[in-house]
Structure 1
């Protein structure tokens, strides 16, 4: 079932979101300051490619207090708007019974895009 959900997700916008996150990550990695944020864009992009069957796990202590500072910067410079977009599409897809599995993926992605540092994606 996860395979079918991922294929439908790819057809209806997941692939374009993946490309967008990868391009954004590459642009951020061109600067030294943007490398940690670019790596997070890559992580979100891969999650956008195959959201069904993946889990987001909290991994504390990996980068110490820098993760909190980076999450605050992430939220200020765009993470909040991306999370609001996933919230909007999650609510929109929740209207129909067929869209509920896809809405759950948007809500999962919302938690990742709001504060991606100190989170790990497992497949």
Structure 2
């Protein structure tokens, strides 16, 4: 079932979302200081391309201040625009009955899109100890 959902996802907007993440990743890698943002963007591009069967997890411990600052900068530069892409794709997917689960999944990705630092993407059946799931498909 995950494979079928991923294929439908890819056809109905996943490829365009992933290209958006790649665009912002390349843009971030132009400057040495923002390379971590580029790496996070490429990680999210992989997740946006094939999301079902994977989970976003966050450590239970307190987040570092570097992650918080990076998340704020990311939100202003790319997160807001990518979130708008998710919302517009979700609206287009929700028009059909088949697309409703995909639209819901698209909306679930918005918090991770806006604030990716301090989060890890793992297979759904392999959530490490000491991490709490944030987004599960």
TM-score norm. by structure 1 comes to: 0.83
The correspondence of residues 1-123 of structure 1 with structure 2, limited to 5 A, is 1-59=1-59, 64-123=64-123
Matches of 2:18 and 2:91, distance apart in 1 = 21
Change (3 A) 1:39 1:60: farther
- After TM superposition, what 4+ stretches of structure 1 lie above 2 angstroms from structure 2? 15-24, 59-63, 87-97
Unmatched tracts of structure 1, length 5 or more? none
Q: Aligned-pair RMSD on alpha carbons?
A: 2.2
- Say whether the 8 Å CA contact 1:75–1:115 is kept in structure 2: yes
TM-score norm. by structure 2 comes to: 0.76
Unmatched tracts of structure 2, length 5 or more? 124-137
Matches of 1:4 and 1:48, distance apart in 2 = 15
Aligned length: 123
- Say whether the 8 Å CA contact 1:5–1:52 is kept in structure 2: yes
Deviation at 1:61, TM superposition (A): 5.4
Deviation at 1:95, TM superposition (A): 4.6
- Say whether the 8 Å CA contact 2:24–2:78 is kept in structure 1: no
